[in-house]
A and B are shown apart, each in its own frame.
Chain A
Amino acid sequence: MATALKSVTPLVREVPHTVSPGLWALAWKRLQSDHVGMVSLAIVAAFILLMILSGVGLVAKDWNLETGVNYAPPSFIGADIESGTPAAPEAQPAAPIPASEYKSSVVDPLADVLAEIRGEKGKAGVAAAPAAGDDAKTVDPLADVMADIKASGAKAGAKGAEVVAARTATLPFGGDKWGRDVLKKTIKGSETSIFVGLAAAVVAVVIGTIFGALSGYYGKWVDDFFNWFYSIFSSIPYLLLILAVAAVLQQKGIHTIILILGLTGWTGVFRLIRGEYLKHKAREYVQAADAIGASNARRMFIHIFPNVSHVVLVQLSILTVGFIKAEVILSFLGFGVPVDVVSWGSMLNEAQNELILGKWWQLVAATVAMATLVTAFSLFTDALRDALDPKLKGRMGA
């Protein structure tokens, strides 16, 4: 519009500032003057870029290649001499670790119980066909997954046989139990965790916005119905609801966890958006839209929605942080991503056992990556809220 005016006639130029900057331009300007916010934005953007690069396979594609010796220490510490690190040939046969050993080195007293349960669960999941009587422990639920991982690793390694043969003694940020590069693993884990967080937040925001819009706009029995729905979901503690859904949906996978988080996390968005629609539907511009014959849907989503979209954006940002945290916990417990997918939560799960052995690097890598992103995301959310709603800033007393 600005360019159109300029090109029409020079007369217009005599009147300065014909076009005042819109909400988004003003918000962007305010955000730019907030240094903390801009730095946070840069960090968040870098993480998302990393996620995309890793997703299309440009970075950390070969994360599950066993390039180092088992528990290879970080390069800046140097090779671990005294603690009898097994050499490459010895490491080979020890590699396919059975499920029971997978957890046995921990102090966790539940380990056996858990292993047993996982065994049973895995078996129940595979098929109900085998005679239900035989001992669950004989079935290794991870066997086929491990075989897959081995196979893909071997395939990738086949190009240069020396890759597997010559395992390095150190890796840039250490190696895990199988000698995989922790740095690449962290990047891959970031991809999973951030993607799950963002996608689940989008699902939750879409549901919350549509419910909130319908409820606030139509009022009456529609409002009553959605409020009833809201009160049900909000009276069950969030994590309990997630766990209950996880218990019912037996199949694991990234899509499942996105759905679980999204379907249970919409309540906060709903409450805010409903309030905004209640406020906006009586405003004059909506009455004007009514007068020119705009339909209900058009008024709701073309006229009102742009005016509440800043609330949606801030909620999206808040929810993403919350869902990343929730995903980490769920994956840690084994209700999240499948075994062959790495996420920060599954890394922490491994790190818990490794710490007792004195191998701290995987714990540090996952923690630092997560803390950096979440801190940046939280600070960015605060900056975004201040930029989009300057009235709030004074009240926060900052």
Chain B
Amino acid sequence: MTAYIIRRLWQMIPTMLGVILLVFILFNAVGGDPAYVLAGKISNKEQIENIRRQLGVDQPYWVQLWIFIKQVVTADFGASWSTNEQVSNILATRLGPSLTVLVPLTILDALFAIALALAVAYVRGSLTDRMVMIVCTVGLSISILVYIIVFQYFFAYKLGWFPVQGWGNSFTENLFHYASLPILIGLAVSIAPSLRLYRTFVLDEINQDYVRTARAKGLSENRIMWVHVLRNASIPIITNLMANLPGLLLGFFLIERFFSIPGIGREVILAVERSDFPVIKALTVYVAFATMASNLLADLMYKAVDPRVQLK
């Protein structure tokens, strides 16, 4: 097991270097001289010169690349070009609000989608099943923007059930007051695709021999579905959940923007709007690393859930 983890970590190094290289090429070679971007933003000539020197713009590319690698390793990307806040500080403070929305959202989404998937798969081919699938397909084809605009308008603006937007200082206030509508919208958007996917996972299992055996020995349908089928179907479900986790961090950037939740996603949009390259660079690199780490974690959990899996 340890050997496996070490080997996987070792194999990650070329990919990590590749991500760094890609981001470097994108921002230093394609993006060009930052002085051009900064001209409309910072009036102080000296400050621009400082940033150029910091990035090593006047030096050969390999020196610039080395500077960038050092930045990644030491987690020191300098200050934001717009707000002068330290990039590491931005990342650290924005993570909390994002997780306040995402963790409950992911848990609720998984619970609802799994329960619904089991129910729908149990009556597969019936009218209910087909209706649910049609609703899912139509629901999926409506842009997330429409959900946010309409929900925010009706539930917050018209009915006043939730705050229109905002973010407080205490965790409980945030979770139960400010985050509830964003979580509700997130659920409305994410259950449809999850349900469709989990339904196919359950259907893969439902015709297996062990289900017939369980039925033959007189187990209740509830036990068959919730214990026997679910345990087997949960293997791909867990992998899917884990693999999506870092993407989720950004996936709900629209929700964060609409509700002005000071999270990672909103920070990305702000950074892109302001051409705040250090923030985007740092976020891209670290989210990529997080994705790799959570993929590894997914494989390890795969093994934990399913003892048949041989890690090699």
Which residues of A approach B to under 8 Å, CB–CB? Answer: 107-110, 114, 117-118, 120-121, 123-124, 128, 132-133, 136, 228-229, 231-233, 235-241, 243-250, 321, 325, 328-329, 332-335, 344-345, 348, 351-352, 355-356, 363, 367, 370-371, 373-375, 377-379, 395-398
What residues of B have a CB within 8 angstroms of the CB of A233 in the complex?
22
Count contacts between A and B, CB distance < 8 Å: 163
Which residues on the B side are within 8 Å of A398 (C-beta)?
Answer: 125
Question: Which residues on the B side are within 8 Å of A235 (C-beta)?
Answer: 15, 19, 288, 291-292, 295
Residues in chain B near residue A325, CB distance under 8 A? 143
B247 touches A238 (CB 8 A): yes
State which of A247, A355, A396 has its C-beta within 8 Å of the C-beta of B271.
A247
- From B19, B140, B273, A232 is in contact (CB under 8 Å) with B19
- The answer on a CB contact under 8 Å between A249 and B200 is no
Report the interface size class on chain B. 35 or more
Bound form: Cα–Cα A239–B125 in Å: 35
- The reply to whether the CB of B62 lies closer than 8 angstroms to some CB of chain A is no
Report the separation of the CA atoms of residues A356 and B22 in the bound assembly, to the nearest whole angstrom.
42
Contacts of A373 in B (CB 8 A): 141
Within 8 A of A (CB), among B202-220: 203-204, 206-207
Contact assessment for B40 and A244 in the assembled complex, using a CB-CB cutoff below 8 Å: no
Closest residue of chain B to A321 (Cβ to Cβ) is B141
Residue ID in chain B nearest A379 by CB atoms? B137
Given contacts A235-B15, A348-B143, contact A132 B40 (CB under 8 A): yes
B234 at the interface (CB under 8 A from A): no
Contact A132 B43 (CB under 8 A): yes
Residue from the set B22, B149, B287 with the largest chain A CB neighbour count within 10 Å:
B149
Given contacts A132-B42, A375-B137, 17 further A-B contacts (CB under 8 A): A110-B260, A117-B274, A124-B41, A235-B15, A237-B247, A237-B249, A243-B269, A244-B23, A244-B272, A244-B280, A245-B26, A249-B30, A250-B275, A321-B141, A374-B141, A375-B138, A395-B204
Inter-chain contact A107/B157, CB cutoff 8 Å: yes
Residue of B with least CB distance to A376: B141
Interchain CB contact under 8 A, B145 and A329: yes
B165 near A107 with CB under 8 A, answer yes
Cross-chain contact A370 with B287 (CB below 8 angstroms): no
Looking across the interface, which residue of chain A has its beta carbon closest to that of B249? A237
The distance from the CB of A15 to the nearest CB of chain B, in whole angstroms, is 42
User: CA A379 – CA B137 in complex, angstroms?
Assistant: 8
Cβ contact within 8 Å between A240 and B250? yes
Residues of A within 8 A of B40 (CB): 120-121, 123-124, 128, 132, 136
In the bound assembly, the distance between CA atoms of A107 and B291 in angstroms comes to 35
